[in-house]
Amino acid sequence: MVHPPRPPPPPKDKKHPNRRMNSKKAVERSAYFARREAARVLRQVLQGDARRRATASIKSLIYGPSVRNKKATFALVCQTLKYLPLVKDVLARTKLLTCKWQKQEELIFVTAYDVLFGQDIAMTGDVEKFLMLHKDALQTALAQLCLTQKVKYVEDLLLKNQNPVISKPRYVRVNTLKMDVESAIQEIGKTNKVTKDDMVPDMLVLPSGVDLHDHPLVKNGSMFLQGKASSMVAVALSPKPGWKVLDGCAAPGNKTIHLAALMKGKGNIIACELHKERVKVLEDTIRRSGATNVDIVHGDFLDIDPKDPLFAKVRAILLDPSCSGSGISAKRLDHLLPSYSKGHDVDTATSQRVKKLAAFQRKALAHALSCRNSCRCRENIMSFLGHYAVPDVERLVYSTCSIYQTENEDVIKSVLPLARSLNFELATPFPQWPRRGLPVFEGSELVLRTDPTEDMEGFFIALFVRKKSTNSSGKMMKKKIRESSSCSTMKNHRKRKRLMTYPFCRMSRMWSYRALARQIPTER
């Protein structure tokens, strides 16, 4: 059988002669916008580092909702920070960073990195055109810098500014509001080796270096990239389904939605956040998680009025206040910051910034402990009359991602007298965990620490539990109340009855309490 001749192949790009050109322009356009997104992030990072008041980590800034090209922006920011000392030195030698360009110095830094160490760039913007015109001068200055430092390669210059960073496994928490753990293991196991964590029930462990930021399950909120130590905080609080829980400093929201998952979406979580920008991040996290039992309060946790009906019947409080972040410096990529150097820990631990943070932490923890005291007079009166008191705060967790005693044990030690006066005591979260608090107060073995070297993150967790009244004094008091009420005159009975109809303002509480105190002897 004779086969017909094959038709000749179509001429290459005859119908689309500009296809390759359009593809190149698309790449250049993408790189153009990525440099500007990287410059915006770099400005926030450098300004925060200069003030030592960074409001978010590098990763948090990049992987927030405002950055579109996250992968390219992340690479540009990290590489620019890595080469920043060299870039600054080269720009100083060439004297290119004049007053005209100082307002765009972050974009100058990013573009200069691309010109010297990165890819070839097109002259698509004013900064790109300016630096490409002076490319020879920049390369000459870099060569002179190598001669001055007596090194042959640029990589040798970088070694003098770098600090070793320990690699760690990738942890990912399954959002059980959307997906069960076994299904997540099957899905992730198709491309990666995955195991279950032995302590946090919904935590998966993957090999170091696995990047899941673009994974569909992460994008749709079925899984969240969260460290093991960070996930231990909500588990330590252990809220029950149906409880009302207060998250004092909620953003970015990973612990908030973990609480929602532990509560199986039942009950109510009040998430407080002061900063407007972080409220947006919190809203995005909650939206992706699918949690429907979270209410956001945009305001200062310290300004919360426990008498507000919104906070009535709160059973548990999670307080994870702003801290130095010294326990997650590697995760935050702090080793890339200009301020990072040898002896950084010693300097920062005694810095004014950490002292101010500790003062805020003490105030916030004292306020959280006192939240249970809001209806104390009313509860006393209700118990005198033989009624059940309203549910009260039973559990409170204080946590930081700091390794400093100033922000951890010292804060707990300062509030212990207040906690005891309000019937709170320290309890042991994760009894099987080996690392405990520094021995600076009695009971420090009850608090928990994770080590940044051994556990890859440095966290501190303290659990306060309200003591349950197990003695018979309460029953005896109620018995005496009933006896007193039965043998009292009708006149006194009417007074007591009339007493309960009044609203519980400050004066009526005081008057009511005193009136009852005269009728009922107090047992001690």
Determine the Cα–Cα distance for residues 250 and 260; give it in Å rounded to an integer: 12
Phi-psi region of 150 (alpha: psi -120 to 50; beta: other; left: phi over 0): left
Tokens coding 234: 């909500």
Residue of 272, 323, 401, 505 marked catalytic = 401
Question: Could you tell me the two tokens for 112?
Answer: 């200069």
Number of CB atoms found within 10 A of residue 33's CB? 15
Cα(191)–Cα(242) distance, integer angstroms: 38
């993957």: which residue's tokens?
Answer: 206
Taking the C-alpha atoms of residue 203 and residue 210, their distance in angstroms, rounded to an integer, is 15
By C-alpha distance, which of 373, 378, 371, 374 is closest to 509? 378
Distance CA 150, CA 28 (A): 36
Question: Could you confirm whether 401 is annotated as catalytic?
Answer: yes
Enumerate long-range contacts of 435-444, CB under 8 Å, 24 or more apart.
437/408, 437/409, 437/412, 437/462, 438/405, 438/408, 438/409, 440/405, 440/409, 440/410, 440/413, 441/409, 441/412, 441/413, 441/416, 443/416, 444/409, 444/412
Total Cβ atoms within 10 A of residue 513: 15
Q: Look-up: residue for tokens 């009852």?
A: 516
CA distance 503 to 103: 60
Name residue, tokens 């490409």. Answer: 132
State the Cα–Cα distance between residues 511 and 500, nearest whole angstrom: 11
Q: Which of 399, 393, 341 is nearest to 372 (CA)?
A: 393
Q: Hey, which bits of 98-155 come out as E strands?
A: none
Length of the chain as a residue count: 524
Q: Read off the DSSP letter of residue 265.
A: T
Active-site annotation, residues:
401
